[in-house]
């Protein structure tokens, strides 16, 4: 695992490490660990789907599902005392991201390569 030095991460209280680039996908981390900034305690491990489902089975969270978890959380905040325009904008853009990821999947299905390593 290596610390991800992306200035957009919130690093005041936590930091994120990523790792596990496999032979199946040599371009992206599959595992992420969120740690406390003060003592390095692990707060959460996140394992993303590793390899195409048709070839490797379901073995981790999908990108869209993680985004939808964040959307659900922000929408719930906006139903209560933490209602704010910033949450609404964030939800709108996250939903747009999910739409584009789903469009990518739709196009891969149409080409008959969804769930495989084929491009």
Average pLDDT (1-24) is 89
Query: What is the pTM assigned to this prediction?
Result: 0.87
Average pLDDT along the chain: 93
Contacts 24+ apart (CB under 8 A), 48-51: 50/20, 50/22, 50/24, 50/25, 51/22, 51/24, 51/25, 51/117
Say yes or no to pLDDT of 106 above 80: yes
Residue 35 reports pLDDT greater than 70: yes
pLDDT in the model for residue 63: 95
Contact criterion met (CB below 8 Å) for 31 and 62: no
């Amino acid at each position: 695992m290596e610390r991800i030095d992306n200035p957009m991460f919130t690093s005041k209280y936590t930091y994120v490490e990523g790792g596990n680039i496999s032979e199946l996908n040599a371009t992206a981390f599959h595992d992420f660990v969120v740690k406390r900034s003060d003592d390095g305690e692990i707060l959460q491990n996140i394992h993303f789907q590793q390899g195409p489902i048709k070839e490797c089975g379901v073995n981790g969270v999908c990108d869209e599902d993680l985004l939808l978890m964040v959307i659900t959380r922000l929408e719930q905040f906006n139903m209560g005392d933490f209602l704010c325009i910033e949450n609404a904008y964030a939800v709108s853009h996250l939903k747009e991201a999910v739409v584009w990821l789903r469009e990518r999947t739709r196009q891969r299905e149409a080409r008959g390569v969804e769930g495989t390593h084929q491009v």
